[in-house]
Amino acid sequence: MPRGDMRRVRDANLRLGAAVAEVEGLYSALLRAGTAERRRRLQAELARAAGRLATLAATPPERPSLPVAPRRSRWGRRRALAERGATWIAARFGQN
């Protein structure tokens, strides 16, 4: 995997982990909330944070484009052409 793809995956994982940590922190604060006003405020913040987490978790990860290296054998070249064709079809017509 090229270096740029690793960085994108790592950044996405960090954003997802930060969103999870925010939800956990708000939930633990909600458990210790004293007044009703503070509970309502924390519940509203928790709902917004959970929405952001759901949005981050629902976005599909970017699939890195794998370069197809030419292979020396006839079967290797056929396999490379089939992979290239499948990649083109998936990009053109979607994953479905």
Q: Are residues 25 and 55 in the same domain?
A: yes
Please give the average per-residue pLDDT across 91-96, as a whole number. Answer: 66
Q: Are residues 44 and 83 in the same domain?
A: no
Q: Are residues 28 and 58 in the same domain?
A: yes
Q: pLDDT (tens digit, 9 = 90+) per residue, 51-73?
A: 999 988 887 766 655 565 555 78
Q: Which domain holds residue 23?
A: 1-64
Going by C-alpha positions, the residue among 41, 15, 18 that lies closest to residue 30 is: 41
Q: Are residues 1 and 18 in the same domain?
A: yes
Using alpha carbons, list the distances in angstroms from residue 17 to 6, 24, 39, 46, 50.
Answer: 16, 10, 24, 16, 13
85 or 62, which is more confident?
Answer: 85
Q: Are residues 45 and 90 in the same domain?
A: no
Per the prediction, the chain carries an average pLDDT of 80
Q: Are residues 76 and 33 in the same domain?
A: no
Counting the structural domains of the chain, the total is 2
